[in-house]
Structure 1
Amino acid sequence: MRTVVALGGNALVSGGEGGVAEMRDHLARVAPQLGTLAERGHDLVVTHGNGPQVGGLLREQAAADTAERPLDVLVAETQAQIGTLVVRALDAELDAQAVSVVTHAVVDSDDDAFSDPAKPVGPYLDADTARNADYSTREVETERGTVHRRVVPSPKPRGLLESEHVARLADAGTPVVCGGGGGVPVARDDGNESLRGVEAVVDKDYTAELLARETDADTLLLVTDVPCAYRNYNTPDQEPIRDASVGRMRDLLDAGEFEAGSMRPKVDACLDFLDADGERAIITTIDDAAAAVEGDAGTRIS
C-alpha cells in the first residue's frame, strides 16, 4: 500500500520564516504520524512546501550584494535543505532509512500561467521599488495594508523526471522525500530536447498528485493547517466536509466553494488523482493524518 503525503501549512512552519530550528520542532510532530502509517503497512513517499524558505532566500538576495540565483536554483536549494531535515526526522522514527531526491517538474512553456504571473514570492516591496523592478509585481493585501510583491507563473507540472527512481526506491521499502516546493521547474523549447530552468513556482499539491499517479500510489494525503475542507469556510454557516464522493466535490468546486490559492488546488488535485483511478484522497492536519487514513478524521474523497 503506497501513500503520497504532501506536507504543507503548519506541518513545517506556523507563521515563521522556515528557519531550521522551527522546522525541526514541527517535524518532531510530523514524524510520529508518518511512523504510525508506516507501521500500518504504508510505503511512504513524502513531499513538502517551501514557500517561506524560498522567500527567505529571496529576501537575503535583495538585502545582500551577492550574485543573484534564479528561482529554479533556489527551489533546488530548499529541496535539499528541507529534505535532509525530513529524512533525519523519519530515520529517527522508522525502521527503514529514508532517502531524499531532488526532483524536477517538467512544465509546458506554452502554459497559460506564463502569460499571467500570479504567484506572490519574496519580500514585500514599496510602490517605488515595485515600479522600478525588472520583474512583474502585484498589489497584495496584508495586515500592514496594501503592499507589492513579485509575482511569477505557476504552471501545472506535466511530468517528473525522477518518478521512476522514486518508484523503485519505494518498491524496495525505502521511504522517499521528493518533489519539494512542487519540484524544480524546467521546460523544453520547441524542437529542443534539452531542459532549461524557468522562473516559476509549481504548486506542490499538483506535484503530489502527479507523483502519486506516476508511482502508482493508492492514497494521496494532503496535509494542511485546517482539519478538513469546509463548505462556507470562515462564515457562520461553516460546515465540515467529511466523507464525500468525487461528484459532490466536483459540484462544490465548480460552484466556487473553495478559495483559489488555498483549498481549491487541493480539491482539484484530489479529483485529478481519483479520476486517474487513485483509490482515495484525503485532506487533513498533520495531527490527524493517521486517523484520517483510517477513516476517523479529515475530508476523505473516494
Structure 2
Amino acid sequence: MRTAIALGGNAIASESPVTVARQKARIGETVDAVEALTDRGHELVFTHGNGPQVGQSLVQQATADAPERPLHVLVAETQAQIGYLIADQLEGAVDGRIATVVTRVRVDPADPDFDDPSKPVGPYYTAAEAAEKPFETGEVTTPDGDRAYRRLVPSPEPTAVLETDAIRALVDGGSTVVCGGGGGVPVVDDGGDAVVRDRGGDGVVGHGDGDGVVRDGDGVDAVVDKDRTTRLVASAVDAECLVMATDVEYAYRDFGTDDQRPIRETDAASLRVALEKGEFAAGSMRPKIEACLAFLDDGGERAVITTPDEIDAAVAGDAGTQIRP
C-alpha cells in the first residue's frame, strides 16, 4: 500500500522557541509507527507543515541586523531544514533511500487571498499583544480550544506541484520521499502581464515571462496550506491512504465547547454536510477536512486524522478519525 503522511507544523514544534532538539524529539516520536508501516509493506511519502518554524524566522528577521529575506525564501529555508530533520530521524526506520525534495507549487497571482490574507503563522498572541503588532493578525482556536491570535499572511490555492514528476519517479523507484514542506514554495506565472507586489510595499516579488514556464525570481510572498499541497501530492503518486498527523487525536464536532465529541468513523458525504454547516475552524481543522475530501474525490480509498504517535494504529483502522468515500 502507498501511504501519504502529512506531519503538521505544530505536531513537529508545539513549543516556543522552536529548537532543533525539540523538533528532532517530536519527529522521533513517529519513528516506531512509521517502522511498523514499512514492515507491513507500505510505501511512504511525507509532507510537513512549517507554521511555527517560518513564524519564528519572521520574528528573528524582524529583530536581526541583517538583509531581509522574502517570505518565500524563508519557506524554502524551513522546508529544507525540517525535511533534513525528518530524513535524519527516519534513517534506519524505513527500507531503501530517503529523498528530500525542496518543492515549488504554482499559484494564481489573482488569487483573492493576496488581498485578504487568511493563513495563520507563528506564535499565539493574546488580544492585547496582537493589537500592538505591526502586521495583520486574526483570531484562531488553540489546540486546547482557547481563543488566541496569530499573524495572517496570504495563502493562495496551489494549482500544481512543479516537482510532481520527480517525486513520482522517486516513489516508484522505492524511495521514501519527504516533499511539499510548508505547502511548497509558492511561485507564479502570469503570462508576463501582471505582477505581484510585496504587501510591505518594497516592490515586485513575482512575475512571468509569458511562455508558461516558471523562472527564477517568480517566488511570491505567501504561505501555501500544506494540507492542500499534500492532497495534490497524494493523488499524484496514487496513494491509497492519506494520513493527516496533527496535534489532536481526532477531528471533533463542536470543538472547543463543553459538547465537543470526537468523530471516529464517517464518510465523505456526512463530513461534507458538517463542513458546510461550519463545524470546522478555518485556521486549523477545516483545510485538513477539505484536503481529505478532495483526496477521496480523486479516487483515494481512505483518509485519516490522528496524532503522530498513533499513525500505525490509525492506518490499521484502530485510531483517529477514519474517513471513507
TM-score clears 0.5: yes
Alignment of 1:72-83 (within 5 A): 72-83=72-83
Partner residue in 2 for 1:282: 304
Gaps of at least 5 residues in structure 2 are: 193-209
> Which of 268, 275, 295 is residue 273 of structure 1 equivalent to?
295
Q: Is residue 33–residue 311 contact of structure 2 (8 Å, CA) maintained in 1?
A: yes
RMSD of equivalent CA atoms: 2.3
Residue-by-residue CA offset, 1:118-169 (whole Å, 9 max, x unaligned): 2244577775662xxxxx52365899xx998653211111100111111111
The 1:301/1:127 distance shift into structure 2, 3 A limit, reads closer
> Which of 190, 214, 218 is residue 240 of structure 2 equivalent to?
218
Alignment of 1:1-302 (within 5 A): 1-8=1-8, 10-121=10-121, 130=134, 137-138=136-137, 140=139, 150-191=151-192, 192=210, 193-195=212-214, 196-302=218-324
Q: Is residue 107–residue 187 contact of structure 2 (8 Å, CA) maintained in 1?
A: yes
Determine the C-alpha separation between the residues in 1 that align with 2:4 and 2:148: 36
SS in 2 for 1:15: coil
| 1:172 maps to amino acid | G
The 1:18/1:92 distance shift into structure 2, 3 A limit, reads farther
Structure 1 stretch 234-243 or stretch 255-264: which is displaced more?
234-243
CA positional deviation for 1:55: 1.4
Q: Is residue 12–residue 18 contact of structure 1 (8 Å, CA) maintained in 2?
A: no
Residue-by-residue CA offset, 1:203-223 (whole Å, 9 max, x unaligned): 111111111111111111000
Partner residue in 2 for 1:133: none
Determine the C-alpha separation between the residues in 2 that align with 1:25 and 1:179: 21
Q: How many residues align?
A: 296
| 1:292 maps to amino acid | A
Q: Is residue 11–residue 245 contact of structure 2 (8 Å, CA) maintained in 1?
A: yes
Determine the C-alpha separation between the residues in 1 that align with 2:298 and 2:101: 25
CA positional deviation for 1:50: 0.8
CA positional deviation for 1:17: 3.1
TM-score scaled by length of structure 2: 0.85
The 1:138/1:12 distance shift into structure 2, 3 A limit, reads closer
Q: Is residue 127–residue 147 contact of structure 1 (8 Å, CA) maintained in 2?
A: no
| 2:44 maps to amino acid | L
SS in 2 for 1:288: helix
SS in 2 for 1:158: strand
CA positional deviation for 1:14: 2.1
Structure 1 stretch 55-64 or stretch 196-205: which is displaced more?
55-64
Once the two structures are aligned, what percentage of the paired residues are identical?
52
CA positional deviation for 1:72: 0.8
Determine the C-alpha separation between the residues in 1 that align with 2:41 and 2:136: 47
TM-score scaled by length of structure 1: 0.91
